[in-house]
Structure 1
């Protein structure tokens, strides 16, 4: 993958169904060209369906299932029901005025993962930010945005945070540089409230927070922040996400993701243990 997502970022379910269609086609021994002829479309259209680069049209999916030898009526209807669900916009679609398409894919991955690991050298991760902290960060990153746009973006961040409290919430495992807590953002009151929020988060059973102190010296991920998502769905590999000033890249090739995983594993060993984080935060809180 290793490229910026195209417009119309897919939901995770659409990615899964694309991979299932690929498996069925390969099991049937058909090429892209042969599948395309069955639909009277180009082979590129079939390839894009499998890669979730286009929506899944119900008539196309139904025809392909027949061509691929899926004849059981209940199995076909179940696949078509999932297809209809996959084509529905995610909750974040109503915020598309302030949410870039390249980040819509991130929100979809975040919502379906059962493990989210991250390294953050600049800011508290969005899932753990207070509203005032988020507002200050967004204002710095969107200097030309109107107040209404900033508030819409804060709302998106708040809705994303509901993920950690839902049934079956993912494990969030974050390594943060000490720099994150030493950089003044929004003033002392905002910073203190944010540290309090992190202290509360250390008591959550599905949050593991580690701090990388200055004294630890250099580490394998000093080039920038990234996330790694793991899913309960067998069709989805681990996916790594790295953001830049104008977009993001998503990586799902094993060798690429392994590089991110190895760096993060080394950092977790180098950072302060998670059970000490609450005490460290308490000490920083007194200094603010």
Structure 2
């Protein structure tokens, strides 16, 4: 398996990923080797690789020099530079950077720019569909030593992420939840009732599909853990799969065999959920009654 993106503190924006790929395409099209490009900038060849792989910011003087070397015209250079300057600007989540683990920063960028997001969640309601109270209870459990102010900062970030579902160009969100995630009481019965109501409302949104896998469905390909699949409009961005590794790291995959394997698993689990729970709305309504007791 291969990391598609660096998961460290310099997590790239989607635009930087696109520009890095374009730089690589231009270099290869002009048949210029990495060491030759590095020599033109008087840098190590690894700097060129990091620029092409979106592992570092794009310094405008470097970009200009490379584009001239690669034979780009004035108009193409001007357009590229404008995009590079935009790519170097902080994302909307920058004020929340202290609340974002290093390995999760790239996720927020991908989520913000994705055309399609498919999620399998075995433990909790997925973050994009959590109520504020539910999110607070989940986050408090994961960060038991943080102050009230720090917890609220993390909750606000999660709520802000959800705004993408209301955009004019909102992504298609396809979520498969395990029954165990819905039966796990988080924050008390009142919080759970509100959360189940939120899920029922979300399931009626035109860009949201909700599926539920009951415990009676038995073993299936998704039992390995949380998976998120991203698809994008931009031709330069291949599909990307995100999986968490333990409590403190994650892997971003873009190699086709890895992506296909995870996508097939997501599809099978989704079909299984449809067979066992064809009407998620009715299921949520009935489950809500259990939290009335």
TM over 0.5: yes
Q: What are the superposed Cα offsets for residues 223-279 of structure 1, whole Å, 9 maximum, x if unpaired?
A: 111100000001001100011301211111111111111111111111136861111
Asked if the contact 2:9/2:105 (under 8 Å) is kept, the reply is no
Instruction: Find 1:37's aligned residue among 27, 33, 39.
Output: 39
Asked if the contact 1:6/1:53 (under 8 Å) is kept, the reply is no
- 1:87 is displaced (CA, Å) by 0.4
User: Do structure 1's residue 84 and structure 2's residue 81 form an aligned pair?
Assistant: no
Distance 1:133 1:281 in 2: 16
Distance 1:173 1:287 in 2: 26
Matches within 5 A, 1:265-280: 265-272=267-274, 276-280=279-283
Distance 1:255 1:143 in 2: 39
TM normalised by structure 2 equals: 0.96
- 1:101 is displaced (CA, Å) by 2.1
Distance 2:198 2:272 in 1: 24
Distance 2:3 2:60 in 1: 29
Matches within 5 A, 1:33-72: 33-71=35-73
Matches within 5 A, 1:222-241: 222-241=223-242
Distance 2:278 2:203 in 1: 9
Q: What are the superposed Cα offsets for residues 161-210 of structure 1, whole Å, 9 maximum, x if unpaired?
A: 00000011000001100001111100000000000000000110000000
- 1:145 is displaced (CA, Å) by 1.2
Distance 1:275 1:79 in 2: 48
Asked if the contact 1:230/1:239 (under 8 Å) is kept, the reply is yes
Q: Aligned-residue CA RMSD in angstroms?
A: 1.2
Matches within 5 A, 1:92-241: 92-241=93-242
Q: Secondary structure at the match of 1:97?
A: helix
Q: Secondary structure at the match of 2:156?
A: helix
Distance 2:7 2:100 in 1: 14
Distance 1:275 1:284 in 2: 15
TM normalised by structure 1 equals: 0.97
Q: What are the superposed Cα offsets for residues 125-183 of structure 1, whole Å, 9 maximum, x if unpaired?
A: 11100000000000011111111111000100111000000011000001100001111
User: What is the number of residues matched between the two proteins?
Assistant: 287
Distance 1:171 1:285 in 2: 26
- 1:7 is displaced (CA, Å) by 2.3
Asked if the contact 1:136/1:185 (under 8 Å) is kept, the reply is yes
Asked if the contact 2:64/2:77 (under 8 Å) is kept, the reply is yes
Distance 2:182 2:44 in 1: 53
Distance 2:3 2:65 in 1: 31
Instruction: Find 1:281's aligned residue among 277, 284, 292.
Output: 284
Q: Secondary structure at the match of 1:140?
A: helix
What are the ranges of 5 or more consecutive residues in structure 1 without an aligned counterpart? none
Distance 1:104 1:197 in 2: 26
Q: What are the superposed Cα offsets for residues 1-38 of structure 1, whole Å, 9 maximum, x if unpaired?
A: 32761221010100000000000000000111011111
Cross-structure match for 2:249: 247
